[in-house]
Structure 1
């Protein structure tokens, strides 16, 4: 997203991360370098395959698929990503592997199974490991969707940043897909984000409250309030300045000024690209309406205190769509006037109808997956429903094998199906 001429929402970028797992046991397999080698003929960090690229991640059992540069709309992306999923799965057959979705592996032991990427960019990963110890679940066992939204100049940046702050706390209610850890129910629907918030507690300025700070109107203010403090705090541990870049920032949405975009980082990977892109489409339309001041002024968005937003975010990470909102001011910021309080799920139903009306033909492709999520629950809820209290390794592998089949076939996961 490097072209500064791309104005607000004119350029969109999506990255999807998947695990590579053994075909039969679903144990993580550290072979992403071999997968990339099978295409490039050498060990590389990334390859481009037309409109979609493949690239490495911190650990060897994760592969990332991403748009090659910004795209103007999302409509074609489910099919493009799905085609690449099928291609990768075909290439993984010879390695005895398959792609596996969701935000975390339910059975992985990161302390014994973590293998860092050993090729180009390895100094970055080794430095992270040296400072934070990347063998934990929050580092080695995470898969997410990154969604980039373009902006041009300070005015558009400020509008986008302010709008995202209000919407971020609601996202895990729809996107949570990581309810298990070490073969047990974690107590959080979004376990990945429970770790995300404390991954870098050694240096709290890196993630802040996850919900970004208020009152930021420009690139200069962002650098002063967020980036410079973060770089100063990590400098004693990073004398070579390996990590002092924008991507060190671990807030829920981070400024990527070098590509003129803000990147959303708190969406768990779903069961198939259609589900991922449908969630991104809803986020996009919601942010467009918020940034367009449909329900609340820019000044109010800009100066909304992060403490209640962060508290709501933590509640939603744990309880998902069942979290209750009793803040009438917050509800009115989305045009919700029906009751003095509602669940996050009810608020999302209101937002969906407001930004993706049923009679809008462009909404139809997205509404199907989104209505299933609102009706049956996030993927995390559906996984727990399918397990029905049986957390034996055999049952977990059975359910996650079904999830890998959903990914391979490009279909939504429904607990009752066999």
Structure 2
């Protein structure tokens, strides 16, 4: 098994769905939480762990601590979803007015970056294996977006996207190639920094990227960045199990490398794969599991849900051999009942408005999280 860790961004606000910036207080008084450029969301990071059972508690415990602290501040809670669902996209609320990088972000992107998401980090020590994994995960990243989509609203409106976050997010730089080697990644990154298309090594906002303590030179993990905020930690672990199994497969079978295994013409295969994947990301942001995608292996059209079902069958043996196949099972429920965005949109079809849907979601998630925390984590020490 590989090490796994999460970066979790969440909004804070009121039970009525109003998103309120509290990150300055949270970061000052709670260990393990860090600021985002806008004060209305806050981030916590889990340590890299191997066992899914331990990861479950590490995902839930900080939220339990944060909810308890928010209650001390007043009638505040955590808000699900990955966009400013009911209001607030008209202005930026700076969390650190003196930070020049935050100034650049606000001036360049505005509130299109004021989103909440999950970044999944999987440990891979060998840089060339990491690059192969990045290539495979990049062309399949739209499937993880389809499973996690949770942002169908913005400013109180139904947007037409299942993931409004990824539909609007300013992927930067605008064109990111499939990195053919570690050297290619180093040279490309240095060129972007010189041209100013990246402000620093962190300023690579694509669906997946190599990560490490001294990018681009020293790398130790793959970071999947495309997923919306999945409030159900069990569902998140299922998605992570799919990702881990896929990475184990590419590590064991280098011939799965899209640059080798795709039937697209070899002469411009790398660019064709990027174009195909970009189009698939756009389609998945729009219709998630019901999106029509093109398969990177042969260019055939396939529904996202059918492609995920194919992958599920393909990775089951690998996950079983690794001892974590049981964690894949909740994917079946997502395919059957829909992701968070689809479940919310079903309530809209039944006559509810976004405000009602979000209020109900806030209550439901808080209650489910409390039960889960009591079941899997030790009680907090007063």
TM-score, normalised with respect to structure 1? 0.76
Matched, 1:383 2:374: no
Change (3 A) 1:297 1:62: closer
Give the superposition deviation at 1:405: 3.6
Matched, 1:349 2:317: no
CA offsets 1:173-225 (integer angstroms, 9 cap, x no match): 101111111111111111100111xx26xxxxx3335xx4135212x211223
Matched, 1:118 2:109: no
Taking the aligned partners of 2:17 and 2:370, their CA distance within structure 1 comes to 14
Task: Report what 1:334 is aligned to.
Answer: none
* 2:36 paired residue among 57, 62, 75: 57
CA offsets 1:233-264 (integer angstroms, 9 cap, x no match): 327xxxxxxx7322101111122242522211
Query: Map of 1:15-414 to 2, 5 A cutoff?
Result: 15-22=7-14, 24-39=15-30, 47=31, 53-68=32-47, 70-95=48-73, 96-112=75-91, 114-118=92-96, 122-130=99-107, 132-134=108-110, 136=111, 138-140=112-114, 142-196=115-169, 199=170, 206-209=172-175, 212-214=176-178, 216-218=180-182, 220-225=183-188, 227-234=189-196, 244-257=199-212, 258=214, 259-293=219-253, 296-297=256-257, 299-300=259-260, 303-304=269-270, 305-325=273-293, 327=295, 329-330=297-298, 342-356=302-316, 360=320, 362-367=324-329, 369-387=330-348, 388-391=350-353, 393-410=355-372
Using the TM superposition, name which of 29-38 and 13-22 deviates more: 29-38
Taking the aligned partners of 2:156 and 2:46, their CA distance within structure 1 comes to 33
Taking the aligned partners of 2:51 and 2:223, their CA distance within structure 1 comes to 16
Runs ≥4 residues deviating over 6 A: none
Taking the aligned partners of 1:124 and 1:169, their CA distance within structure 2 comes to 29
SS at match of 1:17: strand
SS at match of 2:52: coil
Give the number of equivalent residue pairs. 356
Contact 1:188/1:319, CA 8 A, preserved across alignment: yes
SS at match of 1:75: helix
SS at match of 1:247: coil
Taking the aligned partners of 1:159 and 1:217, their CA distance within structure 2 comes to 8
Change (3 A) 1:74 1:301: farther
RMSD over aligned CA atoms reads 2.8
Structure 1, unaligned runs of 5 or more: 1-8, 40-46, 48-52, 201-205, 236-242, 332-339, 412-418
Contact 1:246/1:255, CA 8 A, preserved across alignment: no
Contact 2:78/2:362, CA 8 A, preserved across alignment: no
Taking the aligned partners of 2:109 and 2:295, their CA distance within structure 1 comes to 39
Give the superposition deviation at 1:161: 2.0
Taking the aligned partners of 1:143 and 1:93, their CA distance within structure 2 comes to 21
Give the superposition deviation at 1:129: 1.8
TM-score, normalised with respect to structure 2? 0.83
Taking the aligned partners of 1:26 and 1:62, their CA distance within structure 2 comes to 13
Contact 2:142/2:277, CA 8 A, preserved across alignment: yes
Using the TM superposition, name which of 94-103 and 355-364 deviates more: 355-364
Give the superposition deviation at 1:144: 0.7
Contact 2:10/2:42, CA 8 A, preserved across alignment: yes
